[in-house]
Amino acid sequence: MKRPIIESADVAAMAPDSRLTSYVALLRGVNVGGHAVVSMKELKTSVERLGFRDVSTYINSGNIIFKDSGKDIQKMTKAIESGIKAHCKMAVRVVIKSKRSLRQSARRCRVTGSPTTSCGPT
């Protein structure tokens, strides 16, 4: 029995793309106190339809984790906001941070044990 020939393009499609950057999209005011309720499944679908890769949602928070090769966060933000509005019939403000940027922000922001938190510029 012959094994099928795998073209190099097929192998490239199966391999993880090292040029992809991980991002998190934080949706403002979604699923808070019974307001602006959106299904995580629908939210995930709306972002996948835009062509973003490895899309997942975090619990029922309205936070989306995805990968993309683009670097224009403003363009991605507008695309996701428009996609959610079209698919979920809801206008939502979106803030996108790269994994690296989010990690840097977390390092700068530390809890000091006092009632306030000390955070540097973001």
Which pLDDT tens digit goes with each residue over 63-86? Answer: 899 999 988 999 999 999 999 899
- Domain 18-97 fold is Alpha-Beta Plaits (3.30.70)
pLDDT at 108: 82
pLDDT at 5: 46
Q: Is the pTM of this model over 0.85?
A: no
Backbone angles phi and psi of 105, in degrees to 5: -60, -40
Higher pLDDT, 16 or 75: 75
Distance between CA atoms of residues 40 and 57, nearest Å = 6
pLDDT at 24: 94
Higher pLDDT, 77 or 30: 77
Mean pLDDT for all residues in the chain: 79
Three-state helix/strand/coil letters over the chain: CCCCCCCHHHHHHHCCCCCCEEEEEEECCCCECCECCCCHHHHHHHHHCCCCEEEEEECCCCEEEEEECCCCHHHHHHHHHHHHHHHHCCCCCEEEEEHHHHHHHHHHEEECCCCCEEECCC
pLDDT at 66: 96
Tens digit of pLDDT for each residue in 41-57? 989 999 999 999 999 99
pLDDT at 110: 67
Tens digit of pLDDT for each residue in 80-107? 999 989 988 888 899 999 999 988 888 8
